[in-house]
Chains A and B, each alone.
Chain A
């Protein structure tokens, strides 16, 4: 049963956005899902496997796309961006730019921001050489390398080192907050390297490992105890070029001695920051972002940032895909409640 005159726009086609669009549509209200890339899925499209069950993220995306197609109240617009918005008494008039360069107008009554997160630019850490040495990369770039290795391409590594908390938990050059997901995805990445190259030496340099979730602790222990990834407690100080490879210098804080190790690839688990589009879009809808650019919900609400503006997923704070979905559904519930008045 279609409810007349109530339309929601969801900006961002990742797990959060897809779920929000789907739930709003299933409740009988029109939803328009705007995605700037050519395909739906967002960041998880780039990922190789997932935690804690080693499942393929692509399967989730495929399933969601099927469900979205099945729901007649959902309209998906890929390669589309939001240019402008004019506030009206019952919503917004949006100007969209389409894939062929044309523009089109759209009147909506609520907007859900689901623009997601991206990796902080860690070239500020000159001591790690990101942007200087080609084999130093952030975790998202490493997922691409993992996929290439999985396809049999690229050089077989003898050693890989993962640095956690690069930019996170850093009051000096980065952000004081913890980016939440890195301990888990780093364990996943380290485990995958060992699966592909059992003879490679894989090291994870950590301050802590945070595995608070269903099946999470067991996942990390499996990586350490069954896959034999070596966890070393100590934030590395320096990456130096050494005979074509990379030398890492750190302290093993548990025994209290300085150590070094030579590897082929260094992966920096960089701080997760809101995507660049988030702040201008929030401003477009008269919504403030917090200290670090993340959207903030109003007190006592689940996903409401301001009057007709809701948000879900990584643009509120870094979050894993299943919980981004949950947040999308929460945003949908609040939109439905708004539309049902």
Chain B
């Protein structure tokens, strides 16, 4: 890295493929971006993002696939949709991030926030197995996998006493259909 400090990005070498992918697969044309920054201005997490929404769109234009998949913003975006709502060009930044998240997972790129990724995976695998999110299942597995075994245990007991915790590991009747749905649409590399 040190030895590259004086090699600026050459615009002629920009890889257009990511912009094209997002145009064709997500239906989003980032050329419409006016670079006004209204998205970044409203983003609730903007001040923690390493790349604000406006910069994320710029990264797409600059063809910087690597940063898009490794950046922290990818995993701490709340999907609040404010940026999409405010954008005068209607650019769907949350959809871009969704796409990049999938791409990162498929590409085996390490998530900057592993817990967020873990949570997504646990939810999805619960749905795939049982057709619905089995809350107790997910929470226990999450605690186990993150090593925080007793997290929220007190809260769990309180909820149980108030009858707000479903102890049965419920499932839908046609789990086979749900599984087929998954096979048809989602990649096979989920746990």
Contact = CB atoms under 8 A, between A and B. Distances in A.
Contacts of A203: 11
The dominant DSSP class at the B interface is: helix
Contact of A255 (B10, B12, B31, B55): B55
A217 to B, nearest CB: 10
B29 A258 contact: no
A201 B55 contact: no
A180 interface: no
A260 B8 CA distance: 6
A297 B54 CA distance: 44
Nearest to B9: A259
Interface in B1-54: 8-12, 29, 31-32, 35, 54
Nearest to B55: A255
A228 interface: yes
B133 interface: no
A224 interface: yes
Interface centre among B8, B29, B35 (most CB of A within 10 A): B8
Main secondary structure of the interface of A (DSSP, over half): strand
Interface string A189-204: 0000000000001010
Interface string B139-168: 000000000000000000000000000000
A225 interface: yes
A261 B12 contact: yes
B122 interface: no
A221 to B, nearest CB: 8
A303 interface: no
A261 B55 CA distance: 20
B62 interface: yes
Nearest to B31: A225
Contacts of B55: 254-255
A232 interface: yes
Contact of A257 (B9, B12, B31, B35): B9
A259 B54 contact: no
B58 interface: yes
B39 to A, nearest CB: 13
Contacts of A257: 8-9
B180 to A, nearest CB: 41
Interface of B: 8-12, 29, 31-32, 35, 54-55, 58-59, 61-62
27 contacts: A159-B12, A201-B11, A201-B12, A203-B11, A221-B32, A225-B31, A225-B32, A228-B31, A232-B11, A233-B35, A249-B8, A252-B9, A254-B35, A254-B55, A255-B59, A255-B62, A257-B8, A258-B8, A258-B9, A259-B9, A260-B8, A260-B9, A260-B10, A261-B10, A261-B11, A261-B12, A262-B10
Given A233-B35, A252-B62, A258-B9, 7 more contacts: A159-B12, A201-B12, A225-B29, A254-B35, A254-B54, A255-B59, A262-B12
